[in-house]
Amino acid sequence: MIDIYPYNASTPANCPRCGAESKDAGELFFQGTHVLAEQNCSDCGLDFYVTLPIGHAALYPVVCARDGRYARYNRQEGSWMALPLIRSFQKDAGAEVEIALLQPNPGGELLLVNCLDSCFGHVFTKLWNVYLLKKQYPFKTLAVLLPARCCWLITDSEVEIWSVDLPLEELGKGVQGLDAWVKEQFKRFASVALSEVPVHPPLEGLDVDEILQARPFDLEDFEKLPLQLTFIWRSDRFWLNSRLLDLLYKASIKFGFQFLVRDMICFRQVHLLGRLRKRIQNALPEARFLVTGLNTSARFPKGWEDERVPHIVESVERRWNEIFRTSQVVIGVHGSHMLIPTALAAGFVEILPRHKVPHLTEDIGQQHGGRLGPFLGRFVDEFSSPRLVAHHVLSMVKGFGRVYGADCMEVQKKQKAIGVEREAFNYW
Ligand SMILES: [Zn+2]
């Protein structure tokens, strides 16, 4: 927790222009995704900001002149986060926005969780902290800064919601008027502490059912329910299984000619999915195949139920959740769009780009323990063939009963052993 009201000026930083140690000016600025401490360089006089260590900024801190002309950050791993922030001071003025106070509380000691983010997966994992904090600090008042689209994910009527009505993709540009609005709210409370919002909170103890209002797949029903396999489509990351196409797609992103190759890239992924479906269906003719995700480009052939949409609204999220929670296996390329599907489905196959290997498991919501964890959670290389992916899916579906049965027996044995120990303990 970081005490921010009253705020004790104590965030250390080095000037992005001359590198000298600076003085925290004692003021905070709520930019949107980031909370910044105002700084002044005692050597060259530059006024600049430093990110408070919350969310991804705890991993990749940024210092940035107030006009964005000078900045220091981790260029290798942190550019994706730092560049939108720096640009928000250079050219993007940030959008006009309506901020609403929902479920207000009378006052007290406030814990504030900032879940504003341009990526839905990030919003979702940040939001887990609200549920964890609620259990940890039941007597404190909780407020959450949240994109309006995600308010339905707060089911606790005692949690105050600060709803920012802006499309997610606009949030990275900063939120006009947020700083003044937030500081006005502080006046209702005796004190305000800001959650560090760890972006990889522990999965244990998280009630997915409570957060999503959708019960994850019950493994008891794995062999009873009709077999359903779902691919999660993403419009900016693809399974291509071709080094040449991979190179072409990366070059198109770098040099800005994606619009020229997009159709071909989408067609290639649909082609691979067609081959995957055939292989699985040869062995499991009863299987049903669905595809969810944003974007409706690339038509799917017969045999696929296309549940993709161009824009997302709450009713679509709820419909997709119903699909995930009744899917034996979900398949998709690594990314935060996999968080909810892997939390709700029985198992998953994730296609992992090699540059994402260090981030393995970051986008996984599955909670199975014991042998079932690795059995129902498979990672395959980005250059895997439909044959290999199908092999994993078939092994999960056909071998489930054997592994599940053994795992249950082991749990029963352990419970029995604990029971015997307890009995012995009681006896002595
Ligand atoms: Zn300086």
Structural domains of the chain, ranges and CATH numbers in brackets: 1-201 (no CATH), 211-407 (3.40.50)
**Average pLDDT of 159-163?**
95
List Cα–Cα distances, 117 to 208, 284, 355, 366, in angstroms.
Answer: 20, 41, 23, 23
Q: Quickly state the pLDDT bin for 94 (edges 50, 70, 90).
A: low
Is the model's pLDDT at 207 over the cut of 90? no
CB 121 within 8 A of CB 339: yes
Q: Quickly state the pLDDT bin for 425 (edges 50, 70, 90).
A: very low
List Cα–Cα distances, 140 to 103, 130, 133, 210, 306, in angstroms.
Answer: 15, 12, 9, 20, 45
Q: Quickly state the pLDDT bin for 266 (edges 50, 70, 90).
A: very high
The pTM assigned to this predicted structure is 0.79
pLDDT in tens, 65-80: 998 899 999 988 888 8
CB 308 within 8 A of CB 292: yes
CA of 314 to the centre of ligand 1 (A): 47
Question: Which residue do the tokens 């689209």 mark?
Answer: 149
Alpha helices in 225-299 (DSSP H): 243-255, 258-283
C-alpha to C-alpha distance for 109 and 107, rounded to whole angstroms: 7
CB 217 within 8 A of CB 312: no
Longest distance between any two alpha carbons in the chain, whole Å: 77
**Average pLDDT of 224-238?**
93
User: Which residue, 52, 39, 43, is CA-closest to 19?
Assistant: 43
Average pLDDT, the chain: 88
C-alpha to C-alpha distance for 161 and 99, rounded to whole angstroms: 10
What's the pLDDT at 395? 96
pLDDT in tens, 281-335: 999 999 999 999 987 778 888 889 999 998 878 889 899 999 999 999 999 999 8
CA of 41 to the centre of ligand 1 (A): 5
CA of 95 to the centre of ligand 1 (A): 31
CA of 74 to the centre of ligand 1 (A): 19
**Average pLDDT of 248-262?**
89
CB 93 within 8 A of CB 171: no
Is the model's pLDDT at 419 over the cut of 80? no
**Average pLDDT of 247-262?**
89
pLDDT in tens, 101-141: 999 998 889 999 999 998 888 888 888 889 889 888 988 99
**Average pLDDT of 376-387?**
96
Is the model's pLDDT at 423 over the cut of 70? no
CA of 29 to the centre of ligand 1 (A): 20
Taking a 5 Å cut-off on Cβ, the residues next to ion ligand 1 are 15, 17-18, 20, 41, 43-44, 46
- Token pair in block for residue 305: 């139920």
What's the pLDDT at 170? 84
CA of 173 to the centre of ligand 1 (A): 26
Residue 419, class by beta-carbon neighbours within 10 Å (0-12 exposed, 13-18 middle, 19+ buried)? exposed
CA of 14 to the centre of ligand 1 (A): 8
